[in-house]
Chain A
Amino acid sequence: MKIVKEAVAGTLESSDVMVRIAPLGGSEIDLQLNSSVEKQFGDAIRETVMDTLAKLGVTGVQLIIDDKGALDCILRARLQTVLLRASDSKELPWGALK
């Protein structure tokens, strides 16, 4: 999946997460995480993010994540949404996300 433009998904409200994405030159994944539960779940959140990106073959992006304690499933959903919005594809490759 190729990321071609900037996009945002989610909200800043409690139990949700706002994900902003921008394409970066190269193959670097620049992940900035600000979370209200960083100390407890920071590593778990990063793992979910990297896992989702890997499954969809996304590299060369900057991701800024403002998390207000979203559940893992919410985080995945927001990530998938932002990736779809920022890519040139019309549909998520659902099979890859299993």
Chain B
Amino acid sequence: MYNSTIFSRVKRSEYKKIAEITKFLRKNDLNIDTSVEEFITVMRDSQIIACGGIADNIIKCIAINEELRGEGIALSLATELVNLAYERHHSHLFIYTKTQNEVLFRQCGFFPIASVPGIVVLMENSNCRLHRYSQQLATSRQPGEKIGCIIMNANPFTLGHQYLVQQAAAQCDWLHLFLVKENTSTFPYVDRLRLVTEGTANIPNLTVHPGSEYMISRATFPCYFIKEQGIVDNCYTEIDLKIFRQYLASALGVTHRFVGTEPFCEVTSKYNADMRYWLNTPELTFPPIELVEIERLQHEGTAISASWVRRLLAKKQMDVIANLVPDCTYNYLINNPNIRQKSAGTSSEESVITVGEL
């Protein structure tokens, strides 16, 4: 008979226990993920033998003591994690895990949706949800030879965004615009969506789509750190772009993806370069997509960007902002003093999700 196995839940605030979990993860070549809100630990003889964490709808930081693998602990742990996620009202679950765990999680009802061979795999707890989403997208398909796509955060919507959409739409038979759904931006998703819709209303060959968890989201760009940081950064873009090309672009018949040039941010310009590669490479069997970089709109010699607007907002320089944003955004900023305060408080904090924005 083996010793009793104890499952417990550990909240982020329980520092002492979190420190133990961190140590255990380190031993298993994982770093603790700061976005995890709650962990489940499996203890035996007051030692952690396995753990897993939940951040919204993403299960991460899973490790099982090597000597105990094969005992079925993984299935018990997965059960507890799924139950915990449901209790927290999350039922669309993702797992971002090392390739060697893929088989294990297949047994737990998770299916791979994209992977970087030999390194990481993104799985979700349904074998048809993504397929359904792309079927639903396919109903918005438009005829034409050149079908464009833009994914933007618009945090907030600037003249630069508006210019990019206009330029792209002018080059295409039809343009599909997706708004990043993740609500980690300064400006709430509903407000961003409204401003983009208003600010592009006069473009006839454009569909504005709500975003989804399948594009530039916490799931496709997890803050999940495996030790070799460099490799993981590449993996983020690779997973995100593979899902885009395989499921979303092929559903809509997208032939071109448009982005603004990135003169400032190294990460974003790297994302643009990765995009050029993964959207076009014959390594993948799906129809290729050409990346089109459009020179950014400038104001007095400086490229207009949402981060510039946010900085000005923090300094309450509304007179300068008036030159950088369309009327709809300007009125919104004037009428929402709370937002202005909020952006003042968080001006330096940029999440990884803002990567790829203008």
* A-chain residues with CB within 8 Å of residue B128 when the two chains form the complex: 32
Judged by a CB distance under 8 angstroms, whether B127 is at the interface is yes
Judged by a CB distance under 8 angstroms, whether A6 is at the interface is yes
**B75 nearest CB neighbor, chain A only:** A12
Residue pair A8, B86 in contact (C-beta under 8 Å): yes
Residue pair A6, B86 in contact (C-beta under 8 Å): yes
The segment from B76-84, B247-255, B279-287 found at the interface with A is B76-84
Q: How long is the Cα–Cα vector from A11 to B78 in the complex, in angstroms?
A: 9
- Interfacial residues of chain B within 52-87, with CB under 8 A of chain A in the complex: 72, 75-76, 78-79, 82-83, 86
Q: When the two chains form the complex, which single residue of B75, B86, B91, B127 contacts A13, counting CB atoms closer than 8 Å?
A: B75
Residue pair A13, B83 in contact (C-beta under 8 Å): no
**A11 nearest CB neighbor, chain B only:** B79
**A34 nearest CB neighbor, chain B only:** B109
Judged by a CB distance under 8 angstroms, whether A14 is at the interface is yes
Residue pair B109, A18 in contact (C-beta under 8 Å): yes
* B-chain residues with CB within 8 Å of residue A11 when the two chains form the complex: 75-76, 79
Number of contacting residues on A, CB 8 A? Answer: 16
Judged by a CB distance under 8 angstroms, whether B269 is at the interface is no
Q: How long is the Cα–Cα vector from A18 to B76 in the complex, in angstroms?
A: 11
Chain B interface mostly helix, strand, loop or mixed?
Answer: loop
Number of contacting residues on B, CB 8 A? Answer: 16
Q: How long is the Cα–Cα vector from A7 to B82 in the complex, in angstroms?
A: 11
- Interfacial residues of chain A within 1-15, with CB under 8 A of chain B in the complex: 6-8, 11-14
Q: How long is the Cα–Cα vector from A51 to B198 in the complex, in angstroms?
A: 51
Q: When the two chains form the complex, which single residue of A7, A14, A66 contacts B108, counting CB atoms closer than 8 Å?
A: A66
Q: When the two chains form the complex, which single residue of A14, A36, A64 contacts B126, counting CB atoms closer than 8 Å?
A: A64
**A66 nearest CB neighbor, chain B only:** B109
A87, chain B: closest CB distance, angstroms: 15
* B-chain residues with CB within 8 Å of residue A32 when the two chains form the complex: 126-128
B253, chain A: closest CB distance, angstroms: 27
- For A48-71 the 0/1 string (1 means CB < 8 A from B) is 000000000000000010101000
Residue pair A13, B109 in contact (C-beta under 8 Å): no
Q: How long is the Cα–Cα vector from A14 to B74 in the complex, in angstroms?
A: 12
Q: How long is the Cα–Cα vector from A14 to B75 in the complex, in angstroms?
A: 9
Judged by a CB distance under 8 angstroms, whether A77 is at the interface is no
Residue pair B78, A8 in contact (C-beta under 8 Å): no
Residue pair A13, B82 in contact (C-beta under 8 Å): no
**A16 nearest CB neighbor, chain B only:** B79
* B-chain residues with CB within 8 Å of residue A14 when the two chains form the complex: 72, 75
Residue pair B78, A64 in contact (C-beta under 8 Å): no
Q: How long is the Cα–Cα vector from A64 to B86 in the complex, in angstroms?
A: 14
Judged by a CB distance under 8 angstroms, whether B200 is at the interface is no
B281, chain A: closest CB distance, angstroms: 33
Residue pair B127, A8 in contact (C-beta under 8 Å): no
- Interfacial residues of chain B within 175-196, with CB under 8 A of chain A in the complex: none
Residue pair B108, A64 in contact (C-beta under 8 Å): no
Judged by a CB distance under 8 angstroms, whether B346 is at the interface is no
**B127 nearest CB neighbor, chain A only:** A32
Judged by a CB distance under 8 angstroms, whether B125 is at the interface is yes
Q: How long is the Cα–Cα vector from A14 to B76 in the complex, in angstroms?
A: 10
With A12-B108, A18-B109, A20-B91 known as contacts, the answer to whether A64 contacts B82 (CB < 8 A) is no
Q: List 10 A-B contacts (CB under 8 A).
A: A6-B86, A7-B86, A8-B82, A12-B76, A13-B72, A13-B75, A13-B76, A20-B86, A34-B109, A66-B109
Residues on B close to A: CB < 8 A?
72, 75-76, 78-79, 82-83, 86, 91, 107-109, 125-128
Residues on A close to B: CB < 8 A?
6-8, 11-14, 18, 20, 22, 32, 34, 36, 64, 66, 68
- 10 additional contacts, CB 8 Å, given A12-B79, A20-B86? A8-B83, A12-B75, A12-B76, A12-B109, A13-B72, A20-B109, A32-B126, A36-B107, A64-B125, A64-B126
